[in-house]
Amino acid sequence: MEKRVIAAEDLYKLKSVNDPQMSPCGTKAVYVETSIQEEKHHYISNLFLLDLKTGEKVQWTFGEHRNTSPRWSPDGSRLAFLSSRSGKNQLYVMSAGGGEAKALTEEHLAVSQPVWSPDSASILVSLALAPEDTLEKAKEEDKQPQPLVVEDMRYKSDASGFVRNKKRQLAVADAETGKLKLLGFREYDCSDAAWSPDGKAIVFTSNMTDDPDQNLISDVYILSLDGHDLTKLTNSNGFYGHPSWSPDGKYVSFLGHEKEYLGATFSKIWLSDRETGELSCYSADWDVHISDAAVADFISGSVYPGLIWTEDSQGFYFILTDQGNTGVYYGSLEGQTVPVRFENEHVYGLSVHVQSHTAVLGISRPDHPSDLYFFDFSTGENRQLTSINEAFLNEVELSVPEAIAYKAEDGLEIHGWIMKPAGYEEGEKYPLVLEIHGGPHAMYANTYFHEFQMLAASGKAVLYTNPRGSHGYGQHFVDGVRGDYGGSDYTDLMSAVDYALNTYDFIDAGRLGVTGGSYGGFMTNWIVGHTNRFKAAVTQRSISNWISFYGVSDIGYYFTEWELGGNLIDDFEKLWHHSPLKYVKNVETPLLILHGEKDYRCPVEQAEQLYIALKQLKKETKLVRFPEANHELSRSGHPKLRIDRLNHIKEWFDKYL
C-alpha cells in the first residue's frame, strides 16, 4: 500500500504513552495512554497494566477523562492515581487486582503529586489553598465579579492564571478513609515532597525567605512528623528540586544549582549526608545538564523522576541531556558514572526496579512518536513493549532528519538537523523553513515533532538547530546568549542557513521561511527586522517589546534582568535596543503572528503591538488570536486550536513560498 503524507489533523490519530511505573515485584508496569477524542476535541488519558513477561496489556481505567499519575503502594497491593472525572483532579485508590476505584479526596479540592508512605498506609499529596480555606471546604468563588487585589510581584502564572493568594500545601491522606491532614506552612508554597525510608519525616522544597518576590530561590527542607522539627539542607542561594532519600536513610539527594549563570545554569546532583550534615555537589565537574531539556510538540505530561536510588543505597540512575539526546546514566557513591542507555533518541520516561536493575523507558524518535521499552541495565536486554501508533506509522510517510554540524562566525561548532520534504526527488528544488526553539535554554532533540513532519509533508525542507543558548553542549555554550539576544545567536542561525544552502543543492535560496515560538518567536521577529532573505515568516507566542514584557509577563521582571542584563528602571535603552519592535520599519517579510489570548508568559499585547505597528506601516501581516490559550498552546492546548495553529502555519508558507 502506498503511504500518504501527514497532515495537521493526524494529531487526532496519534497516541502517547507516559509516566511508566514498575510494580514492586518488577513483573508489571502501569502507564498512562493519552489520545484525543476528535468529535469533542478533548484529551483522554487512561491507565493500562502491562505484563512485562508476556506483553499482555489490560486497560484499568475507562471513560473520557484524564486519569494520570499512577503510583503503586510499596506493598504492591494497591494503586493510587489522579482523575479529573469530577471536574478537578482527585485522588483515587484501587486494588492491584483491578476493580472499582475509590475516591479519597473531596470534589472541592484539586490535588497533585501523590506519594505513598513506606508502610502503604498514607498518601502524601499537594494542593492549593488560600489562607481562609480549610480542608473541609475551600472558599466558594463569588459568581459576581470581584476585584483582584494584588500585593505580590508574582501574582499570576501561565500554568494556572491568577494565583489569588493561594499557596501549594502538603497534606497526608489516610489510604483507607481519605482523611486529610495538613502539614503546616500555610504562608509558603511547598511541593516536590518525598517520604523518608522509615516514614518519620518528609523532604520537600519551598521558598521561606522574607521576600520571595526578590529572593528567587528554592530550598530543600526536612520535616519531622513526630516533633514537627524543620531542618533546612540548602543555603537559600539557588534552585533545588526532585529530592529523594537513599533507601538506608543516610543521604538526601536532589537536583539543582546555585544560580551561577542564573536561569542558564546547568542542573547538578547534590547529596546531603544525614549523619554529618555535609552538603556536597556530586556532579560539580560535569559539563552536562541533569534533566530532560528536549522540546517537542507531541509528548506532554512527562514526569521527570529525579535520582532513582538502587536498593543497596550505593548508587542511582538518572536522565541527562547531551548533544541532542537524552539518556540514562548510573552514578555510584564512589564517583563512578557510566551511560547505561544513551542513543540517538529522547528518553522522556523512566521507571526502575531497583532490585533487578531493570527498567521501563518512554522513548521518542523523529520517526517514532512514542512507545515504552523494557531494558535490563545488567545484560543489555532491550524489548519494545508497546506499539500504540503502529497502524498510523504503516499508513504515513515520515521524513527522517539528517544530523548536521557547522561552524558559526566565530568558529564555534553548532549542531542541528535537516529534513527533506516528503516525496523528495533528485534534481528538484524545494523551499526551506528554518525552525527556532524557545527557551532559549532548551534543546531540539532526536524526538518526534508533529509540526516539522507536517511542513515536510507539504513539500518543504525543514532546518532546525541548537544555536548558542541551547542546552546539551556545555555550560559555556548555554550561557552564550545571555546579554547578547540578537547577537551571536542570530548569526548562528544565519550560518545554519548558509551551510544548508552551500551543502544541499535541492534547497531553493529564493524560497526561505522562518518560524519559532517564545524565544523562537522573539528571534523570528528579530530576523525579519535585520534581513530580507526570508520570503515568509511566522512568529508564535513571541516577545516584541522587552520594555512592556518586563511588567506584563509572569516572569518578566526577573527573566529580563537574567537574560538581557538590564531592568526597566535603569536600562530602558538597553531593553529597547534588544526589542524587535524597534526595527519594525525594516520588515519586508510577510509576517504571520500567532498568539494565545491567555498567554501570561508572553502576553498577547506583545503580538498586538507588533501587529499594529506593521499595519500602520502597511506591511504584509496577519494576526491570529487563540481564545483561552496559554503559552503551551502548541504542546498541550485545546486540540482544535492546535490543529488550527498548524494549518495557519502551513497555509502561510504555502502562500508565500
Beta-carbon contacts of 651 under 8 Å, excluding residues fewer than 6 positions away, are: none
Active-site position among 495, 518, 542, 579: 518
Taking alpha carbons only, the member of 217, 233, 122, 213 closest to residue 163 is 213
Nearest-CA neighbor of 101 among 137, 63, 136, 135?
63
Strand partners, 337: 331
Return the residue matching grid coordinates 502506498.
2
- The residue annotated as part of the active site, out of 631, 634, 638, 648, is 631
User: Please, which residues bridge with residue 325 across strands?
Assistant: 322
Q: What angle do CA 179, 185, 187 make, to 5 degrees?
A: 120
Place of cell 509576517: 591
What DSSP string describes 46-76? EEEEEETTT--EEE---SSSBEEEEEE-TTS
Determine whether 518 is an active site residue: yes
Query: Sign (positive/negative) of CA torsion 170, 171, 172, 176?
Result: negative
Grid cell of 594 as nine digits:
500567532
Q: Residue 377 — φ and ψ, nearest 5°?
A: -70, -20
Cα 201 to chain center, whole Å? 30
Write out the E strands in 233-324. Answer: 239-245, 251-257, 268-273, 279-281, 308-309, 315-322
Distances in Å between the alpha carbon of 636 and those of 6, 139, 331, 419?
A: 20, 29, 34, 24
Alpha-carbon gap, residue 160 to 155, rounded angstroms: 10
| Residues contacting residue 640 through CB under 8 Å, at least 6 positions apart | 41
Respond yes or no: is residue 631 known to be catalytic: yes
Give 108's Cβ-side CA count (13 Å radius).
11
Structural contact between residues 606 and 411, judged by C-beta atoms closer than 8 angstroms: no
For residue 645, which of 602, 609, 590, 593 has the smallest C-alpha distance? Answer: 593
Phi, psi of 502 (to 5 degrees): -80, -20
From CA 591, how far away is CA 643, in angstroms rounded? Answer: 20
Strand, helix or coil for residue 129? strand
Q: What is the DSSP-derived secondary structure letter of residue 131?
A: T
Query: C-alpha cell of 209?
Result: 525567605
Q: Residue 378 contacts by C-beta under 8 Å, 6 or more apart in sequence?
A: 356, 357, 358
Query: What is the rounded distance in angstroms from the CA atom of residue 65 to the CA atom of residue 57?
Result: 20
Q: How many residues are recorded in the chain?
A: 657
The DSSP 8-state label assigned to residue 238 in this structure reads S
Q: Which amino acid, residue 257? A: H
Residue 492, amino acid: D
Q: How far apart are CA 308 and CA 125, in angstroms?
A: 20
Burial environment of residue 569 by CB neighbours within 10 A (0 to 12, 13 to 18, 19 or more) = exposed
Kindly state the cell numbers that stand for 627.
481564545
3-state helix, strand, coil in the chain (%, to 5): 20, 35, 45
Side-chain-side CA neighbours of 604 within 13 Å: the count stands at 15
The residues annotated with a catalytic role in the active site are 518, 631
